[in-house]
Structure 1
Amino acid sequence: MNDRTGPQSASQRDLPIVGQGRPERADARRNRLRVLEAAERLFAEHGVKNVSLDAIAAEAGVGKGTVFRRFGDRAGLAVALLDEREQELQAKILTGPPPLGPGVPAAERATAFLDAYLDLLDRHVELFVDSENASEGARYRIGSYHLWHRHLTLLIEEARPDLDADYTAHALLAPLAADLHHSLRETGYDLNRLKSGLRRLAEAALKA
């Protein structure tokens, strides 16, 4: 860790690491990222349900068999894409520049996280809707929800020791449910309005 970030914070020490597995060969990682980037482009242009594995393989410049063996089907590929993007967000939280990363007050980091997560949710809302509705209560069982809840809980404990940090973290994550976000976007809310509203909620809750 470089000097800019200073000592490791509680949120860095205690935050679980997502997506860790066996080491990946460099060429395998390059191919995987090419497929994920191709899927991301095509999903954004045409919608998840309108994109085939054949189209993704062609866009990535690999064989369909490569995609099938690595991801199984379109649903598996969608899960892998969300996992990759969430790992990138976590890396920024752990070691990236402030305010998302260490080096600023906890309340500022919390609002920066909510902003960053809204960007991710808005970019991949169709994938999030599918993931969070895979079964009843799926949103609250997936590892990423527990990860983000833990991150916010630690920041809230630091910013406002007098609050029930566990509950407050759930309350701040509630507006980030994919179904609600999709519904609000469909009824005319733009992303800046959603960010502004959630930021004000967080600032009000965490104001010392």
Structure 2
Amino acid sequence: MSAILDAILRFKLDNRHLSLALEEAGSGSPYQADHYRWWHRTLRDTLRRIPGVPDDDFTAHALLAATRADLVEHLVGQDGVTAERMRSQLANYTAKIVDG
């Protein structure tokens, strides 16, 4: 699970402007985009195989929210958080959610 989210975050870190444009295309919400629905389904299905994870559907949304392009841009672009720090924070967050 952590590796999947790390890959998403690394892509968004490396392609911040593209990621922002993709998430804002159309409705201004990533939740309507086909790629979001694919990632949500992928995470949800993975979470279903992990014993003890509560509400796999909501948890998938919450974990993806931690990788939103606007959040990445805010933390890296405005707050000066390094990519390494953000990746570490996401890994710790994911472990707490998934491992309980």
Asked if TM exceeds 0.5, the reply is: yes
- SS of equivalent to 2:54: coil
Per the TM alignment, residue 206 of structure 1 is displaced from its structure 2 partner at its CA by 1.1
Aligned position for 1:206:
98
Aligned pairs for 1:68-79 within 5 A: none
Aligned position for 2:19:
128
Aligned pairs for 1:142-157 within 5 A: 142-157=33-48
> C-alpha separation between the residues in 1 aligned to 2:72 and 2:53?
30
Whether the aligned pair in 1 keeps the contact of 2:47 and 2:60 (CA below 8 Å) is yes
Per the TM alignment, residue 143 of structure 1 is displaced from its structure 2 partner at its CA by 1.1
Tell me the number of residue pairs that the alignment of Structure 1 and Structure 2 aligns: 99
Aligned pairs for 1:79-98 within 5 A: none
Aligned position for 1:98:
none
The aligned amino acid for 2:13 is D
Percent identity over paired residues = 32
> C-alpha separation between the residues in 2 aligned to 1:172 and 1:146?
13
TM-score scaled by structure 2? Answer: 0.90
Aligned pairs for 1:43-192 within 5 A: 110-186=1-77, 187-192=79-84
Aligned position for 1:197:
89
Per the TM alignment, residue 138 of structure 1 is displaced from its structure 2 partner at its CA by 3.4
Over the residues paired in the alignment, what is the CA RMSD in angstroms?
A: 1.4
Whether the aligned pair in 2 keeps the contact of 1:157 and 1:163 (CA below 8 Å) is no
- Give the gaps of 5 or more residues in structure 1: 1-109
Q: Of the two structures, which has the highest relative contact order with CA contacts closer than 8 Å and spacing of 6 or more?
A: 2
TM-score scaled by structure 1? Answer: 0.45
Per the TM alignment, residue 161 of structure 1 is displaced from its structure 2 partner at its CA by 4.6
> C-alpha separation between the residues in 1 aligned to 2:83 and 2:39?
20
> C-alpha separation between the residues in 2 aligned to 1:165 and 1:184?
27
> C-alpha separation between the residues in 1 aligned to 2:52 and 2:37?
20
- Give the gaps of 5 or more residues in structure 2: none
> Normalized per residue, which structure has more helix?
2
